[in-house]
C-alpha cells in the first residue's frame, strides 16, 4: 500500500512536519516495494485553503493512508471523501513513523481542528 507523510526535508530521516497544509514536502512511501518519492507541496504558499490544495496533492498520489500529527477540517473532509485513512503520526522521523505504522502501532486520528482559514476579522 501507499502512504503519505508530511515532512520537513527530502529524506526518510526527516522529521514529520508539525503542519499538514503548509508542510514542505510529502513523502509518498510504497510499503510493498519499499520505495519513497518526495513530492513538493505546492499549497505551501497559498493565500488560503492550503489544506485543501495539499489534500488534493495527496489524493492525486493515490495513497491509501496519511500519517500526520494534525489536520484541518477541510483537508480531512477531502481525504475522507477520497477514502484515505488518516493516522496520528508520532513526533519522530518519517522512517520511525513508517515502522510504527507497519507494526500497527499508530491509531486513527480522532481530533480534527477547525482550520485557520479565517480572514483575521478581529
Partner 1 sequence: MKIAVLSGKGGAGKTLVAVNLASVAKKSTYIDCDIEEPNGHLFFKPQAVREEEVAVLIPQVNHDLCDGCRRCIDFCRYNALAYIKERLIVLAELCHSCGGCNLVCPQNALAEIERPIGKIQTGISDPVTVKTGFLNIGEASGVPIIKQLLAGLETTADSLTIIDSPPGSACNVMESVKEADYCILVAEPTIFGVHNLNLVYELVKLFNKPFGVVINKCLETENPAEKFCVENNINILARIPFDRELGLLNSNAEIAVRKKEEYREKFSALLNTVAKEVRHEAAAYSQR
Binding site for partner 1 (CB under 8 A): 43, 46-50, 52-53, 55-56, 59, 74, 78, 81-83, 117-122
Do residues 86 and 76 touch, judged by C-beta distance below 8 A?
yes
| Minimum CB distance to partner 1 smaller for 32 or for 121 | 121
User: Which residues are 4's β-sheet partners?
Assistant: 28, 66
CA atoms within a 13 Å half-sphere pointing along the CA-CB vector of 92: 11
| Minimum CB distance to partner 1 smaller for 1 or for 42 | 42
Tell me how far, at minimum, the Cβ of 106 lies from partner 1, in Å: 24
Do residues 64 and 85 touch, judged by C-beta distance below 8 A?
yes
Do residues 25 and 38 touch, judged by C-beta distance below 8 A?
yes
Tell me how far, at minimum, the Cβ of 49 lies from partner 1, in Å: 3
Tell me how far, at minimum, the Cβ of 87 lies from partner 1, in Å: 19
| Minimum CB distance to partner 1 smaller for 34 or for 114 | 114
Amino acid at each position: 500500500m501507499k502512504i503519505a507523510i508530511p515532512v520537513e526535508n527530502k529524506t526518510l530521516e526527516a522529521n514529520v512536519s508539525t503542519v499538514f497544509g503548509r508542510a514542505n514536502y510529502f513523502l509518498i512511501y510504497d510499503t510493498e516495494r519499499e520505495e519513497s518519492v518526495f513530492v513538493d507541496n505546492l499549497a505551501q504558499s497559498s493565500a488560503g485553503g492550503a489544506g485543501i490544495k495539499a489534500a488534493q496533492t495527496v489524493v492525486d498520489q493515490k495513497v491509501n493512508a496519511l500519517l500526520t500529527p494534525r489536520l484541518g477540517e477541510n483537508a480531512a473532509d477531502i481525504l475522507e471523501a477520497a477514502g484515505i485513512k488518516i493516522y496520528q503520526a508520532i513526533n519522530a522521523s518519517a522512517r520511525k513513523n513508517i515502522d510504527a505504522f507497519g507494526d500497527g502501532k499508530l491509531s486513527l486520528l480522532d481530533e480534527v481542528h477547525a482550520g485557520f482559514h479565517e480572514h483575521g476579522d478581529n
